[in-house]
Amino acid sequence: MLEQGVENNELENEDQFEHYRFVAADGQVPLRVDKFLMNFIERATRNKIQEAAKAGKIFANDLAVKSSYKVKAKDVITVVLESPPVEHELVAENLPIDIVYEDDALIVVNKKAGMVVHPGHGNYTGTLVNGLMYHIENLPKNSNERPGLVHRIDKDTSGLLVVAKTVEAMTFLAKQFFDKTTERVYHALVWGNLEEDEGTIEGNIGRSLKNRLQMSVFPDGDFGKPAVSHFKVLERFNYVTLVECRLETGRTHQIRAHFRYIGHTLFNDARYGGDAVLKGTTFTKYKQFVENTFKELPRQALHAKTLGFVHPTTKEMMRFTSDTPEDMLKALERWRAYTINTKEDLK
């Protein structure tokens, strides 16, 4: 080993990672990369390293490799591992929370865009969890700094979220998300005019091999975790389309990654390139219209509209629907008006 470096990186929801780089010695005999890394990374288990390989986080000479890859002399091996959680004192804060429903077992909230769901690297205050701690005493502990949570949505995605108030409720709800029996419906505005009125997007989702702040789709299934998204067109605006998305799985950035994969990046999704004019004309007037619409909706056009699950106590099916937020409504109205008023030969 000639060199090693460690640094922190961030993805949505402020996940923290450790980056390592090793150069195999001249006399290195062929050795599986998982065994090779265990010799140099303190506290790393073989299972953790193999999971990193499955997620496409181990590279040999800049190419992603499986855990069975044999390290040879002078190979440059890089790996990205999730950092162990760092404990921080959680502080209850009197924050505005839109409570849709609440009983002794759970609470359903309509999260506003821009609010981080749980504390993490760089965001230890001002999160939904901080606000819930002020509203609810003794939220059940799930994992470090995520009490009561059984799922989450991105910072700049708005919409419905269910939070458990008891250990029993958390266990019951978490199993439903694991078993994929919950109902989750999103509304998204995407670039382009989808060819089909409805369809399904399938493909493993894992961290991008080129940009560690993004998630990518791996259709061959070599990396990442299986992900399935169903969609239905709700309204067409020629250059953008309003779609309904139903999730079978709940991977990080699933809708954002899946729609980019099929060539229909979410409108104004800066992380995935949707904050540029991806479809439309070259006319200055049109570009100005898009820029003004970006200002009306300064985030990715994604809203968690419907959430359904079986109640942990009553065992009854519960379903909640939230209104489309004002920023998305304004953007949709602008596109409707533009579509009606334009006399161009739109495609």
Q: Do 156 and 301 contact (CB within 8 A), yes or no?
A: no
Beta bridge partner(s), residue 80:
19
Q: Do 28 and 75 contact (CB within 8 A), yes or no?
A: yes
- Tell me the residue type at 99: I
CA–CA–CA angle 262, 327, 279 (5° rounding): 35
Q: Do 20 and 78 contact (CB within 8 A), yes or no?
A: yes
Which residue in 75, 154, 156, 327 is the catalytic one? 154
| Whether residue 154 lies in the annotated active site | yes
Q: Which two tokens stand for residue 74?
A: 């002078």
DSSP per-residue codes, 303-335: EEEEEEEE-TTT--EEEEE-PPPHHHHHHHHHH
Main-chain dihedrals φ then ψ at residue 2, nearest 5 degrees: -105, -30
Element (H, E) at 60: strand 58-60
Measure Cα distances from 201 to 8, 15, 218, 227, 292 in Å. Answer: 32, 26, 12, 8, 31
Catalytic residues: 154
